Structure 1
Amino acid sequence: MCTYIFSYGCCRWSLISEGSTHFGLKSSGVPKNKNMIIETLKSNKPIIASMGPGEFTTKGHFIVLKGIDSNNST
């Protein structure tokens, strides 16, 4: 059984943190802090964000932030 999936079908965060290592990628956490997120994106580092329930799902989802413009919008 896959350890990265909950029994109800949702992915665990460890899929991102440990899964990246499996593919030879480095990953690290970014605090839930607007300035840290902006600085990370300005450094050309993508962010995979774990979102709660909302518009797209009832259980939550991941999104990828890959850049930022001069207005600090992704």
Structure 2
Amino acid sequence: MNYMELVQQLKKKQVPRVCLLYGTEPYFIQKLKEGFYQSVVTDPENFITYDLQEVPVQEVIADAQTYPFFWR
């Protein structure tokens, strides 16, 4: 999927279950992160982004495998 296709899906609130953003243009990645945020976030405390240049992938996996304390 390319940038424009994903932007259109986010505008329609059709969000992929998993999405990996990568590339050399930080502007486009930031715009997509904002689109995800506007499309899906109802509780900002439950939204996490990682920069894998700063955070080890093992930490990301551990966070993904951690069960929430309070489930609504």
Please report the TM-score for the alignment, with normalisation by the length of structure 2: 0.31
By percentage of residues, which structure has more strand? 1
By percentage of residues, which structure has more helix? 2
More relative contact order, 1 or 2 (CA 8 Å, 6+ apart): 2
Please report the TM-score for the alignment, with normalisation by the length of structure 1: 0.31
